[in-house]
């Protein structure tokens, strides 16, 4: 199995103009009853779920849209709404996206968030846990089958040096522990995106090294389809793993850095760069002292977050 480890819409969300419904499904899959209600799939999260990195027809597509095409069996349509927004934090998902998603009464709802939280000076694993639990509980209560995923290592994704990569990896580990615990609590269909092979396979990534490319989005869609098919919830054909575009070259990466990448760095320099420098300084200070105080502090904060959230 290929390593996989998280459609595009403007901030207000999008419903495809034509609901999706394949004419035929997997062999042996019975057709849906005549007049069956459409299967409603709602997507919450950040740029990963928005589809950034997979451009088709002049707009972002992404894993969620690819997955939507393979959800319904014969005779059933899919209504697909993507509320994910680039840069979204867990607070944005909890306060803005989740109420809209619940109001849509989805049959399936994906919630993948956390990378942007780990890149902010306001990162608090306790707050993240409470927000994610609130979102999953609300969607679960609305009758949705939940889809979740843990996160790859951002430091490895960006190729950062140790003093910068270690604190981000520590935060990512805490976020993934919370996601795993809450996914089990709410019975979510979960896909693991933290496998190092995922970040090491350059063919899966776009030129920015921050988002999956077309091949990566197809791999994620395929992984979710397999998990849902095992539950009898994906009755259409699996998304093709074959990309229509070649993977980015080193020249593509250099070009991105010289154009769009420069703008990204400038936009994020007000919060991300100072935060990374502070984290790196703290990392070097404690490493010089020869202690694991930072690891211990993170472990304590995680344990307290899980105890408070799971004990509710």
Q: What is the pLDDT of residues 136-166, one digit of tens each?
A: 999 999 999 999 999 887 777 666 677 777 8
pLDDT of residue 71: 93
Strands 78-82 and 108-112: unpaired
Of the listed ranges 48-52, 84-88, 210-214, the one predicted with least confidence: 210-214
Residue 79 per-residue DSSP state: E
pLDDT of residue 156: 72
Residue 31 vs residue 146, higher pLDDT = 146
CB atoms within 10 A of CB 312: 9
The residue count of the chain comes to 312
CB atoms within 10 A of CB 200: 11
Angle separating helix axes 250-258 and 260-268, nearest 10 degrees:
50
| 33 has a pLDDT exceeding 60 | no
Of residues 190, 201, 158, 194, the one with CA closest to residue 174: 194
What is the Cα–Cα distance from 189 to 224, expressed in whole angstroms? 8
pLDDT of residue 287: 66
Of residues 140, 146, 150, 147, the one with CA closest to residue 177: 150
Q: Mean pLDDT across the stretch 108-136?
A: 94
| CA 45 to the chain's CA centroid | 6
What is the Cα–Cα distance from 225 to 70, expressed in whole angstroms? 7
Reduced to 3 states (helix: H, G, I; strand: E, B; else coil), residue 61 is coil
pLDDT of residue 165: 78
Q: For residue 124, report the phi and psi dihedrals to the nearest 5 degrees.
A: -145, 110
pLDDT of residue 215: 86
Of the listed ranges 118-127, 144-153, 154-163, 256-265, the one predicted with least confidence: 256-265
pTM to 2 decimal places: 0.80
pLDDT of residue 147: 97
What is the Cα–Cα distance from 127 to 133, expressed in whole angstroms? 10
What is the Cα–Cα distance from 157 to 207, expressed in whole angstroms? 11
What is the Cα–Cα distance from 168 to 184, expressed in whole angstroms? 24
Model confidence at 223, in pLDDT bands (50, 70, 90)?
very high
Of residues 165, 164, 163, 154, the one with CA closest to residue 194: 154
Of the listed ranges 19-28, 81-90, 93-102, 113-122, the one predicted with least confidence: 19-28
Model confidence at 259, in pLDDT bands (50, 70, 90)?
very low
pLDDT of residue 267: 52
What is the Cα–Cα distance from 19 to 5, expressed in whole angstroms? 27
Q: What do you get for the CA distance between the two ends of the chain, in Å?
A: 37
Model confidence at 309, in pLDDT bands (50, 70, 90)?
very high
Residue 103 vs residue 253, higher pLDDT = 103
């Amino acid at each position: 199995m290929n390593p996989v480890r998280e459609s595009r819409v403007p901030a207000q969300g999008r419903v495809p103009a034509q609901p999706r419904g394949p004419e035929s499904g997997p062999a042996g899959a019975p057709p849906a009853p005549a007049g069956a209600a459409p299967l409603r799939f709602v997507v919450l999260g950040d740029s990963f779920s928005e589809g950034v990195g997979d451009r088709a027809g002049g707009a972002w597509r992404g894993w969620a849209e690819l997955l939507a095409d393979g959800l319904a069996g014969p005779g059933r349509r899919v209504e697909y709404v993507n509320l994910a927004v680039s840069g979204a934090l867990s607070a944005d998902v909890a306060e803005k996206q989740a109420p809209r998603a619940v109001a849509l009464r989805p049959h399936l709802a994906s919630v993948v968030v956390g990378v942007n939280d780990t890149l902010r000076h306001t990162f608090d694993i306790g707050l993240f846990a409470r927000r994610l639990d609130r979102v999953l509980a609300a969607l679960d209560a609305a009758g949705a089958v939940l889809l979740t995923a843990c996160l790859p290592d951002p430091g490895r994704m960006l190729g950062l040096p140790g003093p910068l990569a270690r604190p981000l990896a520590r935060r990512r580990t805490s976020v993934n522990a919370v996601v795993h615990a809450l996914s089990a609590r709410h019975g979510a269909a979960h896909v693991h995106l933290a496998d190092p092979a995922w970040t090491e396979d350059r063919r899966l990534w776009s030129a920015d090294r921050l988002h999956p490319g077309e091949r990566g989005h197809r791999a994620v869609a395929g992984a979710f389809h397999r998990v849902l098919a095992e539950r009898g919830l994906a009755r259409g054909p699996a998304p093709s793993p074959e990309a229509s575009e070649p993977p980015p070259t080193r020249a593509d990466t250099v070009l991105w850095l010289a154009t769009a990448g420069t703008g990204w760095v400038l936009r994020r320099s007000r919060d991300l760069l100072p935060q990374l420098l502070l984290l790196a300084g703290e990392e070097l200070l404690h490493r010089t002292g020869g202690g694991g105080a930072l690891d211990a502090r993170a472990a304590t904060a995680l344990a307290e977050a899980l105890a408070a959230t799971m004990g509710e």
